[in-house]
Amino acid sequence: MNHFLDIHTTDAKDLRSIIDTAQAMKTARNGRPKGTKDDDQPLAGRMVALIFEKPSTRTRISFDVGVRQMGGETMVLSGADMQLGHGETIADTARVLSRYVDLIMIRTFEEATLLEMAEYADVPVINGLTNRTHPCQIMADVMTFEEHRGPIADKKVVWSGDGNNVFASFAHAAGQFGFDLTFTGPETLDPEPAWFEYCAGKGRPITVQRDPVKAVTDADLVVTDTWVSMHDPQSARERRHNQLRPYQVNEALMKHAKDDALFMHCLPAHRDDEATSAVMDGPHSVIFDEAENRLHAQKAVMRYCLGV
């Protein structure tokens, strides 16, 4: 049994195998209707709990559809409706759920909740986003890059904006898949020091460049995310917007990237804040391929977790 808690805590060989499996499963479906099952049914007879303590469109639907395509069944649960949201401990919840289901995916606030769930569950636990990381998203992003441009190793990836949870998983992927990561954003919203140390230790130190034009120059991939994450206080909204406005990804900025550079955003986006609609709907953008690949990448993650 394997948990999938983060990219930096998963073996690099397993990460590569997950991406390859995801691509093979996507190809095998060859555009067939979404509601049809895969030829292989590795999750037949399996029950998957999908727990959400925060809103979700992509994670919720892609996990649910992915389980069904592989022959399993799902229970989509809101943390607030469970006793978990009313004082039952995470450890007890994990032990009880393990008696009913074969796999748990949880989207939560504190990373400690995810780790405690994994510690006490007898079944695999998947990180569907915490305040600190979002590994499933970046597995889909690596898959999407490679689908369009081949191996991501040694490519220049530039993150413009908030050094948040999605950035953190990009930093982990830089270390594990071996690409160069540049961060451009205000110092007040720098990523955690731990991620700088992690990447430096992997021989892929993160470059910090406060000037977005210099940062994006010759990029193979430009990425951004919302300026205010779900766990950020709404009271910080105006301050964050003021700090991050110079880091908006717009057509003028994208001109400095390579001609064939890709643009990614995990979505949901606040159009014309962190990225303009001209970029999101423009020739560099692969945002909807990214969203689709959540489905394929997570199907491969679930197979890895269950060893099927």
Which residues would be at the binding site for ligand NVA (CB under 6 A)? 129, 164-166, 225-226, 229-230, 266
Task: Tell me if residue 107 is catalytic.
Answer: yes
**Cβ neighbourhood burial of 201 (10 Å; 0-12, 13-18, 19+):** exposed
- Pick the closest to residue 186 from 138, 236, 241, 132 (CA basis): 241
Which of ligand NVA, ligand CP, none does residue 57 bind to, with CB < 5 to 8 Å depending on kind? ligand CP
Nearer to ligand CP, 139 or 279 (CB): 139
- 243's contact among ligand NVA, ligand CP, none, with CB below 5 to 8 A by partner kind, is none
Minimum CB separation from ligand NVA for residue 251, in Å?
A: 24
Q: Of the two residues 105 and 123, which places its CB atom closer to ligand NVA in the complex? A: 105
Query: In terms of CB distance, is 101 or 129 closer to ligand NVA?
Result: 129
Question: Could you confirm whether 199 is annotated as catalytic?
Answer: no
Rounded to whole angstroms, the Cα distance separating 288 from 293 reads 8
46, 68, 107, 265: which is the annotated catalytic residue?
Answer: 107
61, burial (CB in 10 Å: exposed 0-12, middle 13-18, buried 19+): middle
Shortest CB 256 distance to ligand CP, Å: 26
- Name the active-site residue from 8, 294, 296, 303: 294
Q: Which residues touch 302 (CB under 8 Å, ≥6 apart)?
A: 43, 48, 66, 67, 70, 103, 126
3-state secondary structure of 32: coil
Q: Quickly tell me which residue has 């399996």 as its tokens.
A: 46
58 binds ligand CP (CB under 6 A): yes
Say which DSSP state 271 is in.
B
Give the interface with ligand CP as residue ranges (CB under 6 A).
Answer: 56-59, 129, 137, 266-268
